[in-house]
Amino acid sequence: MRSPATGGGAPSRTGLPAVPRSAVVMGVGGWLPPDVVTNDDLAARLDTSDAWIRTRTGIARRHVAGRGTAVSDLAVEAGRRALASAGGPAVDAVVLATMTPDHPVPATAPVVAARLGLDGVPAFDLAATCAGFVYGLASAAGLIAASVAERVLVIGAEVLTGIVDPRDRSLAVLFADGAGAVVLRAGHDEPGALGPVVLGSDGARDDLLYIPGGGSRARAGGLPAGTGGEFLRMRGREIFRNAVERMAESSRRALEAAGWKTGDVDRLVAHQANARILAALGDELEIPADRRPSTIEHTGNTASASIPLLLAETVADGRLRPGHRVLITAFGGGLAWGATTLVWPELPAGH
Ligand code: UT7
């Protein structure tokens, strides 16, 4: 079965055009801020070690935004690279997935659009934590299917170092900063077209990853200032277990909806949360290690940025090539998760 965004075409009963349109990837780009923090740098100020971090997470180093750098700065760089990779098309909508916006109000996407010279286009933020990029793909497919937009820039960008308590060793070693983006255009059943997108959420488990302060719940509850309520809290082991289960389940559903088997998958492009999660997911889906590209060793966990960063890096170094059948999946706090498929296309400007 095809989703409304990807297939079919029934005769119009209204006189309006009734041709469902696919959302087709036509460009990809990533941006990592230049400053790098190694495990040894962290071990110099926290009770941790390079060996613990590598063994438990697969991370060796990570990029961090310097002082004065906000998420819009990273998003603009990634957006610029994705637009260049797409051959510099006119884009008529911008979706920014982030859990670290420049400000609580207003949204950051309009600022990013304006700085990219896209003044006047619809632009909005999307809050789905580490699953934000997959939710962003689904939103872009919807905008295209509804003829709101012909071409959509979807960006995932995070400055997670700003919401992690630098004294919290379990989170400070894991989360980092970065941005990635894709450009999608209206198209048909062709390479680059997103397959059916599967999304899900479970708000009953919102306590597994959350920030207590800064929102209306904290204001209603009178959370006192200075109690650390501005920092991320995570129940790591439960998030770990849910991540593997939910990504595996949504991947299976997305594959089934696309008419693919796991053996058809050339590249598993999964949210880069932790190397052990990626290994467990790959084993669960029986996708061999050489089909599971990863950036986690040098990026850490960049939440909504991790999938487009992985796409951009693997296109650039040739690990992802035209014709590869790609399974994308992500999971994060919310809880929120999702998966989709595509055949990787030739990009107008290469990589
Ligand atoms: O991006 C989507 C959302 N996030 C994720 O998907 C992350 C999911 N969770 C994880 O990646 C892992 O749970 C962590 C990497 C966060 C933690 O790894 P873990 O294997 O689940 O460790 P743990 O939290 O169960 O802690 C094991 C031990 C504890 O010590 P005790 O109680 O056994 O004595 C921790 O205090 O490791 C200790 N520990 C550390 N030790 C050295 C926790 N962090 C560190 C550290 N260095 N940085």
pLDDT digits (tens, 9 = 90+) for 60-111: 999 999 889 999 999 999 999 999 999 998 999 999 999 999 999 999 999 9
Determine the distance from the C-alpha atom of residue 247 to the mean position of all C-alpha atoms in its chain, rounded to a whole number. 13
pLDDT digits (tens, 9 = 90+) for 264-299: 999 999 999 999 999 999 999 999 999 999 999 999
How many angstroms does the Cα of residue 175 sit away from the middle of ligand 1?
Answer: 12
Indicate whether 220 and 120 sit together in one domain: no
Is 180 within 8 Å of 29 (Cβ atoms)?
yes
State residue 223's pLDDT score: 66
State residue 249's pLDDT score: 98
Q: Give yes or no for residue 143 having a pLDDT over 70.
A: yes
30 — pLDDT class (breaks 50, 70, 90) = very high
Is 292 within 8 Å of 268 (Cβ atoms)?
yes
How many angstroms does the Cα of residue 228 sit away from the middle of ligand 1?
Answer: 20
Domain contains 348: no
Indicate whether 205 and 183 sit together in one domain: no
The residue nearest atom 40 of ligand 1, judged by CA position, is 170
Indicate whether 154 and 231 sit together in one domain: no
State residue 215's pLDDT score: 84
What Cα–Cα distance (Å) separates residue 114 from each residue in 60, 88, 109, 345?
A: 36, 16, 9, 29
Residue of 323, 312, 317, 328 whose CA lies nearest to 345: 323
Is 112 within 8 Å of 75 (Cβ atoms)?
yes
Indicate whether 114 and 152 sit together in one domain: yes
Torsion angle defined by CA atoms of residues 320, 2, 141 and 176, in that order, rounded to the nearest 10 degrees: -50
How many angstroms does the Cα of residue 41 sit away from the middle of ligand 1?
Answer: 18
Indicate whether 244 and 139 sit together in one domain: no
Domain of 278, CATH number, reads: 3.40.47.10
pLDDT digits (tens, 9 = 90+) for 197-210: 999 999 999 999 99
Indicate whether 269 and 173 sit together in one domain: no
What is the rounded distance in angstroms from the CA atom of residue 177 to the CA atom of residue 179? Answer: 7
* Among candidate residues 168, 187, 206, the one where a domain is terminated: 187
Indicate whether 84 and 145 sit together in one domain: yes
Indicate whether 202 and 112 sit together in one domain: no
Domain contains 239: yes
Indicate whether 164 and 230 sit together in one domain: no
Give the ligand 1 atom nearest the CA of 333: 3
Indicate whether 182 and 293 sit together in one domain: no
Cβ < 6 Å from ligand 1: which residues? Answer: 48, 52-53, 56-57, 130, 169-170, 173-174, 209, 236-237, 239-240, 243, 273-274, 277, 301, 303, 332
Domain contains 349: no
Domain contains 113: yes
Indicate whether 207 and 311 sit together in one domain: yes
Domain contains 16: yes
State residue 1's pLDDT score: 33
Q: What residues are labeled active site?
A: 130, 271, 301
How many angstroms does the Cα of residue 236 sit away from the middle of ligand 1?
Answer: 6
How many helices (H) and strands (E) would you count in the chain?
11, 13
217 — pLDDT class (breaks 50, 70, 90) = confident
Domain contains 64: yes
Domain contains 193: no
Where b means 16+ CB within 10 Å and e means fewer, 174-184 reads: bbbbbbbbbbb
Residue of 309, 252, 301 whose CA lies nearest to 275: 301
Candidate from 41, 170, 174 with most ligand 1 atoms within 8 A of CB, to mutate:
170
Ranges 9-13, 170-174, 215-219: which has the least confidence:
9-13
What Cα–Cα distance (Å) separates residue 235 from each residue in 222, 227, 263, 289, 332?
A: 24, 19, 33, 27, 12
Domain contains 350: no
* Among candidate residues 134, 164, 187, the one where a domain is terminated: 187
Domain count for the chain: 2
Domain range for 204 is 198-343
Indicate whether 172 and 203 sit together in one domain: no
* Among candidate residues 187, 222, 256, the one where a domain is terminated: 187
